[in-house]
Structure 1
């Protein structure tokens, strides 16, 4: 049976070279480029023979971890169907264990795996030249490839179970945004390191962490042996990871074989946009509608554009009076976190009369409060994840990064929590839909101004401990950076949860007055 599945897999690979001329040309061009990239990678790895053991360790562990992460992420990002989906073989009546073994073996017969195998052989050659046993080097490469193959199988199965009917360009955009959030900070960190012909200590510490994770443990075994250290921990992780992934894969195969696949709708769901991505719950529907507003309504777009401009303007006076750029670079990021948390303080008013849908449908307050915060979280978290390492890179002291994380988390979370209360307790009139965002209607009371001030000043007041410890870390004791981080995270998360709970109660009790406000503006 395994041989038959392997023949099917081989036929699928050969079948990619069939089709019209344009398709074949694209496939051949891609293969040529991939072969060139593989050759360049092998040449670069073999060129490490003259470098120190530490350099080889850093390159191989980082590269192997990145490849394993790519095998796990690719099924989630690529909108393709798995030709080896276990449900395709359900009609054959095979035992789940035998089918899982055959499909895992067939999954190893793929172009990406062959590329990793070629580079892995070069890695094994490099370590063998440094006194590592050829058997040990080969086993470590085999374990690394096994982790890659099983990660791809597991993630493909999870995608088939949960994402098949909700795949859309919006979801792919979220995955792409996640990649940016990961890649940009890492790239900034690597670019800021001081190499001087040696491996920076920060990078060695990062590799030490990866060496005891499933992503990099297998690739770290030869390096540990070459250094004469005890390889027990990475060896246990490297052996245990494929075992755990194999058990998860068998469980997923059993679930897929006993789960009926949802029939596809005759009409494409792409037109549903964010509603096809969000969960089918009241909170998910509100989140999807809010996302549409934030992306299409120019009133929201103007608010988003103003945030970075306002934060950047805070730098000008400080630079004019002679404050060093290294210090000024730290100022805009907390302002961005503060303003992003403050943005939804009047979000309910932007709905105009559409808010009646929530109230008439009896939507729970927590669904309304959480759903309205989703767009700000999707914008704010990636933005802060990118600008924080950039600011720290300009400053030059990466030891301040925990303090920056704490301050930004505290200001952002506290702002969102207080905004959840203010938007239900004290909404004030804004320009109607379709009107200029710079046109503000006349207000007959001061509730709007008070709500704005309370949210912003309240966020600063609640985050005062984190700000104080961050100031101490900047001017006196760098050890206070960790205190600032935990204080900020605790304040931000705690205020966010409390704000959603209180805002939910306020929304439910003031439903009638909210309707009156919507009808009168």
Structure 2
């Protein structure tokens, strides 16, 4: 039976190269790119045979931990169906233990595992060149590859059990955004470190921490021996990880064989996109509808695109005026945070007559206010999480990171809180759906200009404490950076909660006037 399953696994790999010409071309191109990337990675590892031991340990542990994490996240980010789902073998009446062992072995036969194995072999060769015994490096490579394969099997089984009904490209996009929020700031931080012929102390601390986790223990095992240190703990963690993953895999196979696969829901077959991802609550429905508008309506898209461009353009007069470049590098990101918080200040007016759905359904004001903030939060948080570390790295002083984060959080959240009030208290006419975003209707009175100014100036005034402490940290005492961080978080959260609460109450009291506004504009 095991031989038959392995034969089927090879047949599935070969069958992926069959189909129409376009499909075969895409598969071959992807395979060539993967081979080229693998060759580049192997060549980079083999060139480190003469590198210092601490540098090699940092590269292998950090890179290996990232690969292991990738094997865990891939089943969540990729919407493909698992060809080795244990439920496919239920009709054969096989014992769950035998099937689990067979499928675990079959998991080693895949293109990602082949790439991982090639990299692990290169790591073993390099550690052997550094004087580590061959049995030790072989054991380290086997432990690393086995951990990744079992982790992928377990995560794929968990995905089949709990996420099958909610799989969609929108959900995959959220995972990619979350990954960018983590990877880009970390990459910017590592790139800013000063090596000067040795591994920076910050990186050594990260390596020491990862060596004691399931993600990096197997990769760190040979390196600890090369450094002459005790590697028993790393070996024990690596072996324990495999034992735990193996036991969890056997339990999941037994659970899968006793359950039936969930049918694909009607709404997912209907291709409802964000509505299939958002929670089935009033806030979730509002958020899904708002996301569709924000990502497809050119009026929203133009506003999003203009914000970073306008923020960057503000640096030109500052540079011309002679402001030092390291100071100018800190200016655009707070402006982006301010404009992002200000962006939904008139969001209700962009709905046009579609706002009747909220009013006619008797939706609560809190659901409307919270749901409308979801798109700008999903756009603003990743953008700021990437831009803040980049700005601090350009400035060159990482001690200012807490201050910059506190200022941006305060400007962003206070802007959202005030916008939640402004969009129901003082909406003003905007271009209708389908019209040019640069075509603005004639307005009677100055209500629109006043609401815009109140939200923007209000966010700046309320953020004065973190702005002040940030300036103190920049010019005098770097210890004020922590005060700026906590003040920004506290003020931002308080204003956001208060703004949503006030906006909710106003929305419920002014539904008739809001409908009248929507019909008249």
TM-score, normalisation: structure 2: 0.88
Q: Is the 8 A contact 2:267 2:276 kept in 1?
A: no
Q: Distance in 2 between matches of 1:506 and 1:244?
A: 54
Q: Distance in 2 between matches of 1:306 and 1:39?
A: 41
User: How far off its partner does 1:419 sit?
Assistant: 1.8
Secondary structure at 1:280's aligned position in 2? coil
Q: Distance in 2 between matches of 1:158 and 1:133?
A: 38
Alignment of 1:67-466 (within 5 A): 67-231=67-231, 234-264=234-264, 269=269, 271-444=271-444, 447-466=447-466
Shift in alpha-carbon separation, 1:441–1:39, aligned structure 2, 3 A: closer
Q: Is the 8 A contact 1:411 1:459 kept in 2?
A: yes
Q: Distance in 2 between matches of 1:145 and 1:136?
A: 14
Shift in alpha-carbon separation, 1:218–1:378, aligned structure 2, 3 A: same
Q: Distance in 2 between matches of 1:51 and 1:519?
A: 71
Q: Distance in 1 between matches of 2:452 and 2:22?
A: 59
Shift in alpha-carbon separation, 1:156–1:356, aligned structure 2, 3 A: same
User: How far off its partner does 1:180 sit?
Assistant: 4.1
Q: Distance in 2 between matches of 1:95 and 1:410?
A: 58
Which runs of no fewer than 5 residues in structure 2 stay unpaired? none
User: How far off its partner does 1:264 sit?
Assistant: 4.2
The equivalent residue for 1:13 is 13
The equivalent residue for 1:46 is 46
Q: Distance in 2 between matches of 1:62 and 1:253?
A: 31
Shift in alpha-carbon separation, 1:340–1:159, aligned structure 2, 3 A: same
Q: Distance in 2 between matches of 1:36 and 1:156?
A: 27
Q: Is the 8 A contact 2:221 2:235 kept in 1?
A: yes
Q: Is the 8 A contact 1:269 1:276 kept in 2?
A: no
Q: Is the 8 A contact 1:168 1:270 kept in 2?
A: no
Q: Are 1:510 and 2:510 an aligned pair?
A: yes
User: How far off its partner does 1:512 sit?
Assistant: 3.0
Secondary structure at 2:477's aligned position in 1? coil
Secondary structure at 2:351's aligned position in 1? helix
User: How far off its partner does 1:363 sit?
Assistant: 1.9
When structure 1 is superposed on structure 2, of 242-251 and 44-53 the one drifting more is 242-251
User: How far off its partner does 1:147 sit?
Assistant: 2.3
RMSD over aligned Cα, in angstroms? 3.1
Shift in alpha-carbon separation, 1:399–1:81, aligned structure 2, 3 A: same
Shift in alpha-carbon separation, 1:243–1:349, aligned structure 2, 3 A: farther
Secondary structure at 1:471's aligned position in 2? helix
Shift in alpha-carbon separation, 1:312–1:84, aligned structure 2, 3 A: same
Shift in alpha-carbon separation, 1:435–1:28, aligned structure 2, 3 A: closer
Which runs of no fewer than 5 residues in structure 1 stay unpaired? none
Q: Is the 8 A contact 1:270 1:276 kept in 2?
A: no
User: How far off its partner does 1:55 sit?
Assistant: 1.3
1:223-249 Cα shifts (integer Å, max 9, x gaps): 223323344554454334334444544
Q: Distance in 1 between matches of 2:473 and 2:234?
A: 35
Secondary structure at 2:369's aligned position in 1? helix
When structure 1 is superposed on structure 2, of 44-53 and 346-355 the one drifting more is 44-53
Shift in alpha-carbon separation, 1:424–1:14, aligned structure 2, 3 A: same
Q: Distance in 1 between matches of 2:246 and 2:462?
A: 47
Q: Distance in 2 between matches of 1:436 and 1:469?
A: 42
Secondary structure at 2:272's aligned position in 1? helix
Shift in alpha-carbon separation, 1:28–1:379, aligned structure 2, 3 A: closer
When structure 1 is superposed on structure 2, of 143-152 and 51-60 the one drifting more is 143-152
Q: Are 1:470 and 2:470 an aligned pair?
A: yes
User: How far off its partner does 1:430 sit?
Assistant: 2.7
Shift in alpha-carbon separation, 1:25–1:343, aligned structure 2, 3 A: closer
The equivalent residue for 2:483 is 483
Shift in alpha-carbon separation, 1:354–1:266, aligned structure 2, 3 A: closer
Q: Distance in 1 between matches of 2:519 and 2:31?
A: 62
User: How far off its partner does 1:410 sit?
Assistant: 1.9
1:392-442 Cα shifts (integer Å, max 9, x gaps): 222112222222222212221222122223323333333333344344445
